[in-house]
A and B are shown apart, each in its own frame.
Chain A
Amino acid sequence: MSRIPRWAEWWIERLLGDDRAVDVLGDLEELSAGRTRMGARWWVLGQVLRLTWRRVTRRDLKPSSPRARSAASLADDVRISFRAIRRSPGVSAAIVMTLALAIGATTALFTVADAVLFKALPFDAPDRLVVFWETEPPDMRRAATSPPNLVDFREGADGFEAFAGYAGERFTLTGDGPPTQVLGVRVTEDFFAALRASPLRGRVFDAADEADRKTVVLSHGFWAARLGLDPNVLERTITLDDEPHQVVGVMPETFRFPDDDEVALWVPLAPYPWERIRWTRTTSVIARLGADTSLETARAQLSAVAASLGERFPETNGGWGVEIAPVRELLGDQRALTVLLGTVGLVLLIACANVANLLLVRSTERGQELGIRAALGASRVRLIRLLMMESATLTILGGAAGLGLAAVGVRVLLALEPGTLPRWNPVALDARALLFTLGVAVLVALLAGTAPALRASRQGLAAAGGQGTQRAISDRSGSRSRALLSSFEVALAIVLTTGAALLVTSLLRLRAEEPGFEPDGVLTATLELPDRYEYGSGRIEAAYDDILLRARALPGVTGAGWVTALPMSRVGTDYDIEFFRVERPDLTPVEAPPRADFRVVSEGYLESIGVPVVTGRALEPADGDAGVANILVNRTLVDRYFPGEDPLGQQIRLYQTDGQAYRVVGVVGNVRHRGLDDESRPEIYVHFRQMAHNGMTLALRTQGDPTEWATPLAAVVREVDSDLPLLEVRAMSSLLDETLAERRFSTALLLAFAGLGLAIALIGVQGTLSYAVSRRTREIGVRMALGAERARVVRQVLGGGARVIVLGLVVGILAAAALSRTLESMLYGVEPGDPRTLTVVAALVAVVALAACLHPALRASRVDPVEALREG
C-alpha cells in the first residue's frame, strides 16, 4: 500500500502539475521506506511543506498547466502577505505565537475528545451493541446478572443477535519463570460474535469450549510479551490456576474488551458451582440487537422475562428489573472532558480577539500603503482579499505551529492522564485532527481577520481620496473597537479563571475531608489463592492466618490484618447487603430493609489502618472460633438503625435466609470507603474465619517507608506457598492519591488553560494600551509642555486601561455566574457562582490587569515633550 497520504498526492499534483508530480511522489515513496507508518506521514508532511515553500518563494518553478496556474496566482498573494508579515516581525510573531498556543491546546484536547466522545467505537455496527443490567429493588441500582438468569434472558428475549456474558478474573500463570497473576475474562461462547470480532490466528470459542475451562484465546499483547509472537502458538498450552489451557486463538492488536490494558486472555465462562445460584450476580452482559429490534422492543422483552423470573424465583429475582443502554454507556461520565473542550474553546476565542486587535493595529499602520494601492487602482475587494490573505497566512502559520504543539500536547496528556481515559479508540493526531485544525484556522482567520480587513480597506480608500478627517474618525472608532475587544478578552478570562478557581476550591475541600483511616506507613498487598485451596476445606483460612502471623513477626511491623476490600480501592469485593435485626423483626418490613456495606476482616486489620474503636472492643482471634458470632459495626450504622439504643449486644442476621445471628461487640469509626466525596455508609465487619473468602488484601503497618517491607512480605508468602503471587503491592497512601488523581488532572488542565487565557488577555490589554500611548505621544508631549504633571499622565493612561478592565469585569462576572453552572456536578463543597470565589477572581484579575497597564502608563509619563513635539 502506498505510504503517501491521498491529500499529499492531491496537493503535489496541483502544485507541480500531473506530468511532474508522478516522479516526485515516487521519490517520496522510496525515501519514506523504513519509516513507521506514522513517521512516514509526518515526514511526507514536512517534505510537502518544503516543496510548497520553495514553489511559493521561487518563481522559476511556475508550472504551465492552467489548473496549476490558479494555484500559482494564490501563491502570488501568499508572497505579498509574507512580505507584509516580515515588515513587522514583532506583531507577526505575537500573532503566530498566540495562535499556536491556542490552536495547539484546542487541537490536543480535540484529539482526545474525538477518540473518546465523537468517533464511533471500534466495533462493527456499534449502534447495535448494548449493555444490560439487572436492577435491584428498592432503588433499582444497576447490578450484573448471574449465569442462570443470563440463560433465561437470552432464551426469553428473541430480539437479540447475541446476548453474551463476561466476568473478569485474575489467574495465576505458572510455567516459565516465577508465578504471576494475569487478568483474564471469562466469556460465553457468543461473546466474540456479539462484538463481531474475528481472531488474528486460530478461532474463538464454540459450544464445545463453553462446557469446561480448558481452552484460551490470547490477547495480542500477551502473545507478544509472554510468547514472543511464537508462530506455533496454536500448538501451545498455558497453565492458569494449575490447569493446562489449550491456546485456540489470538485476537488482533486492535481488539480490546473490556476496555482495560491489563486484559491478557479470554477463557470460556463455564460457571463455577456458586455461580449457578441466581443471586450470584457477577456476570456482565454485552449484547447485539437484531437488525429489526429497537432498544424499546428489546427492553420490553427483557422486562417481561424479568417479571416472569420474579414470579418463579421470588427469593432471588422478586422485584428485580432490567436496564439496557447503548455500549457507549461503558465509557462512563466524560463530563470533565466536555468541560475542558469548552475551556479551550474560550481560550481560542480570547486568542481570536487578541489577533483581531493586533491586526487592527497593523492595518492602521498600513493606512498609507493601502492608500497608495487604492490610488493605483486596487478595488476595495482586491484590498480586502489582500488583507484576508494576510490574516489567513498568519493563522495557517499559527495553525502549523499549533499542530506541532498539539502533537507534543497529546503525548503529555496521555502520559499524565491517571489511567481513567477510555482507550477503545487510539488517541493520536490523525487526518481528522488535521482537518479540525484547518477548520479552526479558517474560522480564526475569518473571526479575527474580517473586521480589520473591512476597516483597513475603507481607510485605505479614504486615504487615497485625501479625506483626512474621515481617517481621523476611522482611527477613533478603531481605538474603540480595540478597547471593546480587550474588554471581551478580560471577560472571557474571568469566566475561565472562575471555573479554575471553583475546581481548585473543590479539590482543596475534598482533600481536607477526613478519610477515617491513617494510610501513612501502611503497605498493602492482595493475595488470591488458587482453586486447590478449596472452600470448606479450611485451607483458605489456614493460609491467610499463617501469612498473617508470619507478617506480624517481621521486624519493624507494628500491626497487620486482612480485609476483602481496602477503602477506595478498585481491587477486591465490596458487599452491600440487607440485614435484619433479630430481636425486632417487626421493624424490618417497614419501608426498605436496613442496608449496610459488609467486609470480611481479620483481627488487627482496623487497628493497622488506624480506625478507632468508639465503644466496645476490637475483634480478637477468638472471634474467629466456631460457635462465636461477633461483629463490629460503624458509627453511621448505629446512628441510622440503632438511634438512642445501646448498640452493644444487639443481634442481627446478615441475610434473611441466613439462620446465623451475629452479636455487635464493638462500634468503630467511619471510613469513607467509596471515595472522599462519598458519605460514609453503614458498615459491618465480620471475622474472616466465620466467613471464608478467597481474595483478600493485607494491610501492614510499618515503622518507616512501607514499600521497604514489600520484599520481606513476598518472602513470607513464599515460605507458605512458593506458587502464590502477591498483587498490587504498594503504599496505602497511593490509594488516597489515586482517588483524587482524575479530579486533580482535570483541575490542573483547567488551571493551565485558564492561566493561558488570562496571559493572552493581559497581553491584549497591555498591547492595546501601549499602542494607544504610542499614537498619543505627541498629544502627551504637548500636555506635558503645557505643565501636566507626570503623575497625572500616569493616572490618565491607567484610567483608560481601567475603563477597559471594568467593562470586562462586569460582563465577565455575569457570564461566569451563568456558565459555572455547567461545572456543578464536578464541584465539591462549593456552589457554582459562589460569590466569594467570584469576588476573589474578579479582584485578582483586576489587579493583574491593572499591573499590566502600568508599563505603558509609565512609558507615557517618561515622554520627553521636546522630543515628542520635534517628531510630530
Chain B
Amino acid sequence: MGREHLGEFEQLVLLACLHLRDDAYTVRVIEEIEARTGRRAQHSAVYVALRRLEKRGLVESRLGESTPERGGRAKRYFTVRPQAVKALEAARDALLAMWRDLEPHPDGTAGA
C-alpha cells in the first residue's frame, strides 16, 4: 500500500473516530471535533472526508440501528483500520520532528 498521506482535516476526523470507538458516526464525529478543537465542522465536509477515507481503505463502515431522533433512519458507523493508525502516527512523528528545536515564543507562537 505504500505511504498514505493524510490531510489535516482527515487527521481530525480519524482521531475523532478513534476517540469515539464504537460510537463513531458522522454526527458524533462533528461533535467530537468541535468539543476538542472548537472548530465547527460542516456535515458535508465530514461526510465527504469519511467517504474518501473509506474508498482508500482507511476506514470501514457498517449500517447500524435507527433511532427516533433520526426519523427512524439508520446510522453508519465507521471503524478505523490499522493502516490509518499507522498513517496517523507517521503524520504525528513528521510534525513533531519538524517542531523539535523550535523554542516556544513568549506569546505562545513558535520562534527560532
A27 touches B52 (CB 8 A): no
Residue of B whose beta carbon sits closest to that of A1: B71
B73 touches A25 (CB 8 A): yes
B47 touches A24 (CB 8 A): yes
Kindly list chain A residues whose C-beta atoms are within 8 Å of the C-beta of B27. Answer: 27, 30-31
Alpha-carbon distance A511/B4, docked complex (angstroms): 77
Give the number of residues in A that approach B within 8 Å (Cβ atoms).
22
Alpha-carbon distance A770/B6, docked complex (angstroms): 50
Please pick, from A22, A33, A58, the residue contacting B48 in the complex, using a CB distance under 8 A: A58
Kindly list chain B residues whose C-beta atoms are within 8 Å of the C-beta of A245. Answer: none
Kindly list chain B residues whose C-beta atoms are within 8 Å of the C-beta of A4. Answer: 71
Alpha-carbon distance A206/B40, docked complex (angstroms): 57
Alpha-carbon distance A724/B67, docked complex (angstroms): 58
B48 touches A54 (CB 8 A): yes
Q: How far is the CB of B12 from chain A (nearest CB, A)?
A: 17
Is B26 positioned at the interface, with any CB of A under 8 Å from its CB?
Answer: yes
Known contacts A23-B25, A47-B43: A30-B70 contact under CB 8 Å? yes
B71 touches A27 (CB 8 A): no
Kindly list chain B residues whose C-beta atoms are within 8 Å of the C-beta of A31. Answer: 27, 30, 43
Alpha-carbon distance A133/B34, docked complex (angstroms): 65
Residue of A whose beta carbon sits closest to that of B42: A50
Kindly list chain B residues whose C-beta atoms are within 8 Å of the C-beta of A549. Answer: none
B55 touches A47 (CB 8 A): no
Q: How far is the CB of A535 from chain B (nearest CB, A)?
A: 63
Alpha-carbon distance A51/B45, docked complex (angstroms): 8
Q: List B10-47 residues whose CB lies under 8 Å from chain A.
A: 25-27, 30, 42-45, 47
Those 4 A-B pairs whose CB atoms lie nearest each other, nearest first: A26-B73, A23-B76, A26-B70, A50-B44
Kindly list chain A residues whose C-beta atoms are within 8 Å of the C-beta of B47. Answer: 24, 27, 51
1/0 contact string of A740-766 vs chain B (CB within 8 Å): 000000000000000000000000000
Known contacts A23-B63, A26-B66: A54-B44 contact under CB 8 Å? yes
Q: How far is the CB of B68 from chain A (nearest CB, A)?
A: 10
Kindly list chain B residues whose C-beta atoms are within 8 Å of the C-beta of A47. Answer: 42-44
Please pick, from A25, A29, A50, A53, the residue contacting B69 in the complex, using a CB distance under 8 A: A29
A28 touches B55 (CB 8 A): no
Is A715 positioned at the interface, with any CB of B under 8 Å from its CB?
Answer: no
Q: How far is the CB of A2 from chain B (nearest CB, A)?
A: 4
Alpha-carbon distance A53/B47, docked complex (angstroms): 13
Please pick, from A3, A23, A33, the residue contacting B74 in the complex, using a CB distance under 8 A: A23
B55 touches A22 (CB 8 A): no
Known contacts A60-B55, A61-B51: A26-B74 contact under CB 8 Å? yes
> Other than the known A53-B44, A60-B52, what 17 A-B pairs have Cβ atoms closer than 8 Å?
A2-B71, A22-B73, A23-B76, A26-B66, A26-B71, A26-B73, A27-B26, A27-B27, A27-B43, A27-B47, A27-B70, A31-B30, A31-B43, A50-B43, A51-B44, A60-B51, A60-B55
Kindly list chain A residues whose C-beta atoms are within 8 Å of the C-beta of B69. Answer: 29-30, 33
Kindly list chain B residues whose C-beta atoms are within 8 Å of the C-beta of A61. Answer: 48, 51-52
Residue of A whose beta carbon sits closest to that of B49: A54
Kindly list chain A residues whose C-beta atoms are within 8 Å of the C-beta of B73. Answer: 22-23, 25-26, 29
Kindly list chain B residues whose C-beta atoms are within 8 Å of the C-beta of A51. Answer: 43-44, 47-48
Q: How far is the CB of B79 from chain A (nearest CB, A)?
A: 15
Alpha-carbon distance A99/B63, docked complex (angstroms): 43
A23 touches B71 (CB 8 A): no
Please pick, from B26, B44, B48, B55, the residue contacting A23 in the complex, using a CB distance under 8 A: B26
* Interface core residue of B26, B55, B63, B66 (most chain A CB under 10 Å): B26
Q: How far is the CB of A8 from chain B (nearest CB, A)?
A: 12
11 contacts between A and B (CB under 8 A): A2-B71, A4-B71, A22-B74, A23-B63, A26-B66, A27-B70, A30-B27, A31-B30, A51-B47, A51-B48, A61-B48
Kindly list chain B residues whose C-beta atoms are within 8 Å of the C-beta of A24. Answer: 26, 47
Q: How far is the CB of A13 from chain B (nearest CB, A)?
A: 12
Alpha-carbon distance A51/B46, docked complex (angstroms): 10
Kindly list chain A residues whose C-beta atoms are within 8 Å of the C-beta of B75. Answer: 23, 26-27
Alpha-carbon distance A58/B70, docked complex (angstroms): 27
Known contacts A23-B26, A23-B76: A29-B70 contact under CB 8 Å? yes
Alpha-carbon distance A23/B52, docked complex (angstroms): 16
1/0 contact string of B51-82 vs chain A (CB within 8 Å): 11001000000010011011101111000000
Kindly list chain A residues whose C-beta atoms are within 8 Å of the C-beta of B76. Answer: 23
Kindly list chain A residues whose C-beta atoms are within 8 Å of the C-beta of B44. Answer: 47, 50-51, 53-54
Q: How far is the CB of A9 from chain B (nearest CB, A)?
A: 10
Q: List A420-463 residues whose CB lies under 8 Å from chain B.
A: none
* Interface core residue of B44, B74, B75 (most chain A CB under 10 Å): B44
Kindly list chain B residues whose C-beta atoms are within 8 Å of the C-beta of A22. Answer: 63, 73-74
1/0 contact string of A52-96 vs chain B (CB within 8 Å): 011000101100000000000000000000000000000000000
Residue of B whose beta carbon sits closest to that of A24: B47
1/0 contact string of A21-48 vs chain B (CB within 8 Å): 0111111111101000000000000010
Kindly list chain A residues whose C-beta atoms are within 8 Å of the C-beta of B71. Answer: 2-4, 25-26, 29
Kindly list chain A residues whose C-beta atoms are within 8 Å of the C-beta of B48. Answer: 51, 54, 58, 61
Alpha-carbon distance A23/B54, docked complex (angstroms): 15
Q: How far is the CB of B44 from chain A (nearest CB, A)?
A: 4
* Interface core residue of A26, A28, A60 (most chain B CB under 10 Å): A26
Alpha-carbon distance A27/B51, docked complex (angstroms): 14
Q: How far is the CB of B81 from chain A (nearest CB, A)?
A: 18
